[in-house]
Amino acid sequence: MRQFAAALALALAASIVSAGSPPAASGSNVPDIETRRSGLQLAPMPRTAQLYATNCQGCHGEFGSSAAEIPTLAGRVGYFTRIPEGRRYLVQVPNVALNANSDADIAAVLNWLLATYSRAQLAADFQPYTASEVAELRQARIDVVASRRRIVDALLAAGQIPSADTLALPHIVLY
Ligand code: HEC
């Protein structure tokens, strides 16, 4: 019986090998040799853009603008960095704070997002997020609606946004 089990295990292993196991994922986003030979032109995606694509884009869209009740990031998100509570909020918003990636990756994707989609709105003295800042800020659980309202009011009062509509949430009725 033990011999039979061993033979079966060997046969299974052999069939897995002969079926051709897929090449181990390299972790790189540079196109492999076959893709390059095929003539397909694929620009390698920087790691931060890849982080955004796999963690954020499903809701916030490829170019930082989304439908329905999901806030548009493009041309807007940088305004939040103009006051301390707004800077904290960008890390504490649930899909950022609770994201499974490391503090360093969250800092990197936020810095990338701000520079790519909202550079013109950044605080004049904006300093990029660091991993340790993210580590500390993401511990807090905030009341998103109340915080956001408070921040928008404060930005408006400080003359940092042209009007309350600047950061208004889209209200698209789908049905
Ligand atoms: C499952 C959908 C979803 C995913 C995934 C998601 N978000 Fe969001 N995001 C939202 C929603 C909805 C809000 C509005 C606040 C809330 O209800 O949590 C929001 C708010 C935000 C805000 C605040 C914008 C504002 O105007 O208030 C930022 C910044 C943000 N998200 C960035 C990110 C980043 C960076 C990622 C990827 C790491 C991400 N989000 C992933 C749905 C998502």
pLDDT per residue, tens digit, the chain (175 aa), is 445 444 444 444 444 444 445 455 455 666 677 766 776 666 778 889 889 988 988 788 888 877 667 888 999 999 999 999 999 999 999 899 999 999 999 999 999 999 999 999 999 999 999 999 999 999 999 998 899 999 999 999 999 999 988 998 876 554 5
Residue with tokens 């899909």: 95
pLDDT tens digit sequence for 84-135: 999 999 999 989 999 999 999 999 999 999 999 999 999 999 999 999 999 9
Domains identified in the chain, total number: 1
Q: Is residue 114 part of a domain?
A: yes
Fill in the DSSP letter of residue 120. G
Q: Is residue 31 part of a domain?
A: no
121 is in which domain, residue-wise? 47-167
What's the CA-to-centroid distance between 97 and ligand 1, angstroms? Answer: 10
CATH code where residue 111 lies: 1.10.760.10
Q: Is 108 in the pocket of ligand 1 (CB under 6 A)?
A: no
Supply the pLDDT for residue 45.
Answer: 80
Task: Report the distance separating Cα 20 and Cα 22, nearest Å.
Answer: 6
Q: Is 93 in the pocket of ligand 1 (CB under 6 A)?
A: yes
Which ligand 1 atom is nearest residue 93's CA?
A: 18
CB atoms within 10 A of CB 157: 10
Q: Is residue 109 part of a domain?
A: yes
Q: Is residue 150 part of a domain?
A: yes
Q: Is residue 153 part of a domain?
A: yes
CA-angle at 43, arms to 78 and 74, nearest 5°: 15
| DSSP string computed for 131-170 | HHHHHHHTT----HHHHHHHHHHHHHHTT-SS-GGGGPPP
Q: Is residue 154 part of a domain?
A: yes
Q: Is residue 158 part of a domain?
A: yes
Helix-helix angle 144-157:84-92, to 10 degrees: 150
Q: Is residue 9 part of a domain?
A: no
Q: From 60, 81, 122, give the residue whose CB has the most ligand 1 atoms within 8 Å, as the site to mutate.
A: 60
What's the CA-to-centroid distance between 33 and ligand 1, angstroms? Answer: 36
What are φ and ψ of residue 76, in 5° steps?
Answer: -135, -45
Q: Is 59 in the pocket of ligand 1 (CB under 6 A)?
A: yes
CB 91 within 8 Å of CB 114: no
Q: Is 156 exposed, middle or buried (0-12, 13-18, 19+ CB in 10 A)?
A: middle
